[in-house]
Amino acid sequence: MKRIMSFLFVIVLLSSVQVQAQFRKIPAEVTEAFTTQFPHATKLSWKDNITNFQANFNNGDTLMQVKYNNKGQWLETISKMPYDQLNDAIKDGFDKSKFNDWEIVLVQKITSLNNELLYRIEVRKNAFRKTFLYFSQKGQLQKDIPAL
């Protein structure tokens, strides 16, 4: 019985530490960088990813996500977009891929710190088979990653 109580105490202690880590205060440098970069953002919510801070928001009619490091340095911006706004090279690359008969679920434009611009197309074959496809601006499939 003593062993069970000790085990339960450790579990409760560890879970409370994890919860506290999720409620870390967002540094002023991060919120200032966000406000400067996106002054008209609406429906803002923050997420602490331990190594960075992520803001989810609307910028006009566009659903967006941006990440900053702890010092407020911009890392990445992701914006949702319709498939028909992709350039012809990317659409052609998708049509020539082995995933061309899969359902398109979501299309996102990803701009990263190293000025890399990628387009992520989430596709699904069925409820259990989903994949993220990453295309360059020239329509080259850079990588495909199965979704969990």
Tokens of 117: 């611009």
Taking only the tens place, the pLDDT of each residue in 23-39 is 689 999 999 999 999 99
Whole-prediction pTM: 0.79
Q: What are phi and psi of 114, to 5 degrees?
A: -85, 20
**Lookup: tokens for 132:** 């993220």
Cα–Cα distance measured from residue 61 to residue 17, given in angstroms and rounded to the nearest whole number: 38
The pLDDT of residue 21 is 46
Could you report the per-residue pLDDT of 81-116, keeping only the tens digit for each?
Answer: 999 999 999 999 999 999 999 999 999 999 998 888
45 DSSP β-pair partners = 56
Structural domains for the chain: 81-148 (3.10.450.360)
